[in-house]
Structure formats: C-alpha cells, structure tokens
Structure 1
Amino acid sequence: MGERKITLFKGGLMSNRAPVAIVTGASRGAGRGIAIALGMHGCIVYVTGRSEKTGDHALPGTIYETAEAVAVAGGTGIAVRVDHSDDEQVKALIDQVLNEQGRIDILVNNAAAVYDELTDPGNFWEKPLKLVDMIHVGLHSGYVATYYAAPAMVKQKSGLVIFTSASGAVHYVYGPAYGAHKAGMDKFAADMAVDFKDANVAVLSIWMGALLTDRLKMVIASDPEKYGSLESMTESPEFSGHVIWALFNDAQLMEMSGQTVIGAEMAVKYGIKDEGGRQPLSYRDTHQVEPRIQYPNIIR
C-alpha cells in the first residue's frame, strides 16, 4: 500500500464536539474550497489527496497547503495522503478518522481523476482511454469511502454524506465518462439514502456550478472566445462548502435525503451569497435543466 503521511494543522479554538468532516480530493479545486469553508465553520477537516509537494500535479495545490488554509480559516486541518484508486488506503483513512475522533459527521466524496484532455475536441474514442478513470477514481472511490464510513454513521445515528456533481448528469458535457460520473454520483445519493433512512443519516448529491479554479482558468485561457463567458457564471470553490454546512445544520435535512440539489438554489434557501455578494444562478436558469427525480419503487 505504501507509506501514508499524516500532518495536523490547528487553527482557532476547537471544542471536543467540533464536527468531523472528510473531504476527498482536496488538494485543489472544489475539494480545497469545501474544506476551507468547513474550516471557517470550526470543523475538524481531514484533507485527502495525492499531491504532497509542488510538481506532483500540473496544477498548484497540495494536501498540506489545504490543511494549513483550513487552520487559518479557524478549523483544524489534518492532511492525509490517500490514493483513492487504492481501496485499502481509503479504508485506512476511515479507520484513522474513527480511531482519532470516534465519529464522522460529514463525508464529502469529491475525489475524481480529471485530465486536461477531457476538454479536448473530438469524440470519446478519439480521446485518451484514461478518461474512463473518472469512473474508478470518482464513482468507485466514493462508493468505497461511504461503504467504510457507513457503519460508524449508522451507529452514531447521524451524519451527512455528500456527492459533488453537476448538470452533466442530465445533458452532454465533455463526453460519456464525465456524464456517467455525474449521473452516478446522483444515483448513489438516491439509492444510499434508501439504505440509510432508518439510521438518520442523510445523503445528497450537489450540483455545483462552474468553479473558478486554477483548472477552469486554464480552460478559459485556452479558448477565450469559446469559454470566456463562463467566468461571469462561476462560483467560488468555497461556495459549496458553505451550502454543505447549512444543509448539515438543517433540522429538516432527512426530508431531503436522496435528492440531487442545485447548490445555487440551496444558497438562496439558506441566505448564502458568494464572494462579493454575488448570488450564483441555478442551472434551471442558465441551462434549462434540472435533476432527475427518482421513482419511489423499492425492490429488495
């Protein structure tokens, strides 16, 4: 399995009752933003990913930098190197969190294998086969993390599992691997909620908007004419984290369990605005799409 490196960063004053969160794939992008936002709300945040030093990835960002940012924001950041393609490393992560904290309150399944070639022109067979890794480090790894966290959440009779998704679940975006990943995340939330229902554990999938991350900035710069309009429609990476925190504290959370929600709409519900006081638009307005509703039939 290889050596797993662990680094702890402490920020503001923490109580023994501080919520414990795991954010996978948090070296950069959405995961980093969500982790920092949860840190702002005083959480103990386990930050996972593979990037430990500059150069480990073409884009900037490491698990240690994110954990430090969580601490600066007022939480406690714990960096754990995890290769989410390795099920044993994922299990070891969950075991570590339970050994150190005794519980898991929030699990954010965000890790995914995203390659630059995803946005290249062409049909799926004209792009590298490695793009299908989104199914393994994405769907597969999110299932495994939830599988190992589930018994503890069921025992404690509380918890929130989040799958990060987007509107590509219901329309063509970048090809079938991307779409299958997003649709699968939504389906995981719907079906896992059925099994979790009696345990008071909520599961939701969140459609995040286009995030103004380093990756998206590179995409926009690669073809300003094609992608330039995206910048005015973006959300900050932290925005979804604040929405997740509001969901976690909603007394009616279990009534929403199993749903795919649009982050921008949840923000309006909870009175959350993005940086600069912006109110991001819903996919219903920008793309004229909405999440699919699962039928209530249950066959066991």
Structure 2
Amino acid sequence: MSEIKVALVTGASRGAGAGIARALGAHGMTVYVTGRTVEPGDAKAWDGSVLPGTVAETAAAVTAAGGKGIAVLCDHSDDERVAAVFEQIRREQGRLDLLVNNATYMHPQLIEQKPFWQKDISACEILNVGLRSAYIASWHAAQMMVEQGRGLIAFGSSFGASCYMHGPAYGAQKAGLDKFAHDMAVDLRGSGVNTLSVWMGPLKTERAAVASKVNPAQYEAFSKTAESPEFTGHILYALATSNQAEALSGHTVIGAELARELGVTDEGSVRPSYRETLGEPPKPNPAVVY
C-alpha cells in the first residue's frame, strides 16, 4: 500500500475537477488546483448564465476538507505556463504523487443537438485543451514521477469515448485520453509509475444542473443517479493507496465499477455503471511496435 501526499488536479475551478480536489483534500492531501477563473463571471453555462467557482475557492475548499489547497492560475493552452506549474510543485514539495488530467475546453454549443458542421469550428478546441493539454501535463508529471520511482497519472474520460456523445470532437478527445493511458503505461512499465483512464458517469455539476433545464427529457433520468463531483477523487485515492494500481496501469475503467471493487461509495450510494446502455471500455492490447 502506497502513501500519497501531493496531487495536481487540472481544470479545477468548478465541476469534476473541483470535486476531485475536494475529495483528495478530505484524505489529507496537499492539492494543487489549476484553472483560469479568478473572478466569478469568467465562465458561462449552456444558457449563458454565469457559473460559480474560482481556483481560489476550490483551494480553500480543499483546505476546509482537511487537506492543503494551493491555487495556481493556469491556461492549459499555454505550454510555458503549464511548465511553470510543475516547476512550482517541484520547488515547493519536491514530489508529485498523483496527476488528475481534467482540464477541458467546454464549447458553448457542446450539448446542442446539431451535426458537427452546423456548430462553430472552434468546437475542436477540445482537442487542444482537453487532449493535447493532458499530454503536456503528463509529460511533465512523468519526469517527476519516474525520478521518484512512484506515481499515478489519471485521465478523466467518459462513455463518450465509445458511444456518440456531444459530437465527434468530444468523442475523439475522450478516446484519445484512453489511448494516452494505454500507451503511456507501456513506456512507464517498470518505473513504479502507473496510468489509468476513468469513465465518469453523469455528474452533479454546475453545468449539468443547467443542462437538465435546457434539455430536461435527456438529462432527467441520468440526474437521478448522477455521481457527485467528489466520487472520482475518492476512487483515485483508494486505488493509489491500494495494491491494485500496477495491475490496472494502462487500463480504461468505468469509475462506478472500480468503486465497487475498492469498496468506495458515493454519498452512501452505489452508482450504476451504464455499461449495457452506453458501451464498455477497450481492452488493453498487449502488442508493442516500436
């Protein structure tokens, strides 16, 4: 069983990232949280309303939960700024035990029921902040973690990697994260550093609350069994401190299923998997070609 003390959660001003950070704080961790929002009003919901949440508020919530939250303003489309985040962590902590790649560009037309060519072309920005940005953060994290001989690099993915969900750009980003976990695990084999991609279910986030009003028929059923934003954080902590992380390295898992294996509940409830309706993760391919 491993001890983990320091984490970085990207894109943590609100939503899943903020929830994961709070959960890790509840386990006593020092959690660096990155995001672009420093003042409420910078982010908008699907109906144009202002979304709450800032990186400073998330950091304060981490500390209030029992950990130590450290807010770092960072635009993950800026490689130099991302590098500075890792330099800060190395300078201040000398270690990094867990990276959670969560930062993602949320296009305002993401949940509109239109074909991709009828949406603005900027929707593909999720392949920059969401896919490419996860590669850059993982590149920096791997260097620190390999040096210390331990660590976990996690990717926040979804069933959209398998089924049609929010259009091709969103799906490609999620499928790409799964492949990152798979292929990075091959390169990291034997280093003590593991990877994992987690399919989260519907979440009780600020954006989801608005989505349920914008498209009530589509979101009403899911919202009844939706996961808390903290759920994935508790799962990752349980995995990282268990003896199963190495065996699962490179895998894509359904968070609700892994939670059952690890004995993790969400606000006292067992969450559904959605495997039968939305699809199942790809199985690791043992072939390696250089």
| TM-score normalised by length of structure 1 | 0.92
Structure 1 residue runs of 4 or more that deviate by more than 6 Å after TM superposition: none
Instruction: Select the residue among 251, 263, 281 that pairs with 1:291.
Output: 281
8 Å Cα contact 2:89/2:95 also seen in 1: yes
Report matched runs for 1:77-92 at 5 Å: 77-92=69-84
Say if 1:113 and 1:138, in contact at 8 Å, map to a contact too. Answer: yes
What does 1:70-219 correspond to in 2, within 5 Å?
70-219=62-211
Q: Which runs of 5+ in 2 are unaligned?
A: 45-50
Structure 1 counterpart SS, 2:110: helix
Cα distance between partner residues in 2 of 1:91 and 1:48:
12
Higher relative contact order (CA 8 A, sep 6+): 2
2:28 aligned residue: 42
Q: Does residue 20 in structure 1 map to residue 6 in structure 2?
A: yes
Could you tell me which amino acid in structure 2 is paired with residue 293 of structure 1? Answer: K
Contact 2:163 2:278 in 1 (8 A): no
Distance in 2 between residues matched to 1:69 and 1:121, nearest whole Å: 35
Distance change (3 Å), C-alpha of 1:18 and 1:252: closer
Paired with 1:191 and 1:260, the residues of 2 have a C-alpha distance of 11
Counterpart CA distance in 1 for 2:121 and 2:220 is 28
Residues 157-215 of structure 1, C-alpha deviations (whole Å, 9 max, x = no match): 00000000001101111110000010000000000000111101000000011101010
Counterpart-to-counterpart distance in 2, 1:181 and 1:238: 22
CA distance in 1, matches of 2:158, 2:80: 28
Moved more, 261-270 or 33-42: 261-270
CA distance, structure 2, for counterparts of residue 206 and residue 72 of structure 1: 26
Cα offset for 1:132?
Answer: 0.5
Unaligned 5+ runs, structure 1? 1-16
Is 2:244 the partner of 1:252?
yes
Question: Kindly, what percent of the aligned residue pairs are identical?
Answer: 50
What is the letter of the counterpart of residue 261 of structure 2? Answer: K
Question: When the two structures are superposed, what TM-score results if normalisation uses the length of structure 2?
Answer: 0.95
- 1:5 equivalent in structure 2: none
Does structure 1 retain, via aligned residues, the 8 Å contact 2:198–2:253? yes
Alignment partner, residue 270 of structure 2: 279
Cα distance in 2 for partners of 1:271, 1:107 equals: 22
Q: Give the AA of the match of 1:42.
A: G
Could you tell me how far 1:74 is from its partner in structure 2?
A: 0.2
Cα-to-partner distance string for 1:250-281 (whole Å, 9 max, x where unaligned)? 11311110000111011111111112x21110
